[in-house]
Amino acid sequence: MAAPRNRRHLRRFGYGVALGAGIAFAPFAIAAASADPGAGQGGSVNTNGAQPVATQRIALAKPVALAKPAGRLAPRAAPAGGRTAPRIQSAADRRPVVVIGASVSAGKEVPSVDAYPRQVRAISDRPVLVSARSGAGYADGSMAQLTRAADLPRTNPSLVVLQAGTNDVGASPGVVAGQVRQVVSTVRRQAPGARIAVVTVFPSIHNGAAARSTDAAIVGAARAVDPSVAVISPLNEGWRYRASADGHPGIAAHERLAERVFALA
């Protein structure tokens, strides 16, 4: 079933929800949101060579669940254009989606309601748990730490999204690959019934040869552990979108990412 593509569509179904306590680990609060100049619009990618967010020290905490939208969605006829309304999950299909990642998963540089984990929560009407912080990557071990903090055996997710790679560009591909194998192996062991998706490098921050090498290392290592891993690679797929001054993806990219994750959930 196709997911809604834009915020106007989401809000027609009554999904205007606030982030509440936030989706990043304390004390790494989400940076002040800024309006995206291309809200809901496709646009040219920012290729000004902005540097990735510097890695910070990690303070681990339990994942934060996104607030549930008010009320439940009643079935509706397909709106104009042939798209169908998002379906309600059955009581037997309520396992959460767990997002583990870096600043994009923490909603940096977009309004909290537009961050892709929030949009997945809205269009799927199932819990979404987020273990994320700005600066996270594989090479420094922070993705492994965030994965442990997600407590997958307890949450029993249907889908685990691993979003990292941009902050790894420039690190040894061998080191990155080794850490990816460790993280994916942990997820597969702790959540044997979950599907795994990796979201890799965003071209608005890095798009050269080093970025492609990092992207390939992540994908190859993940699929070496689990050939069924789903890959979402904005770099290799040639995504075009407007970005913030520091290169973080804008609202249009978050909407596209939410659609892709929703299709896997």
Residues 77-117: tens digit of each pLDDT: 333 343 333 444 444 458 999 999 999 999 999 999 999 99
How many helices, marked H, and strands, marked E, lie in the chain? 7, 6
Least confident residue range of 53-67, 159-173, 186-200: 53-67
Please give the pLDDT value at position 63: 60
pTM above 0.85, yes or no: no
The answer to whether 247 and 205 are in contact (CB under 8 A) is yes
Give the separation between CA 142 and CA 140, rounded to whole angstroms. 6
* Pick from 129, 114, 142: nearest CA to 265: 129
Helix axes 209-225, 173-190, angle to 10 degrees: 30
Each residue's pLDDT tens digit, 4-28: 444 444 433 333 333 333 333 332 3
Q: What residue segments make up the domains of the chain, in order of their start?
A: 91-265
Q: Which fold has domain 91-265?
A: Rossmann fold (3.40.50)
Q: Give the CA radius of gyration of the chain.
A: 17
Q: What is the mean pLDDT of residues 109-135?
A: 95
Q: What's the pLDDT band for 265 if we cut at 50, 70, 90?
A: confident
Q: Looking at residue 94, what is its pLDDT?
A: 83
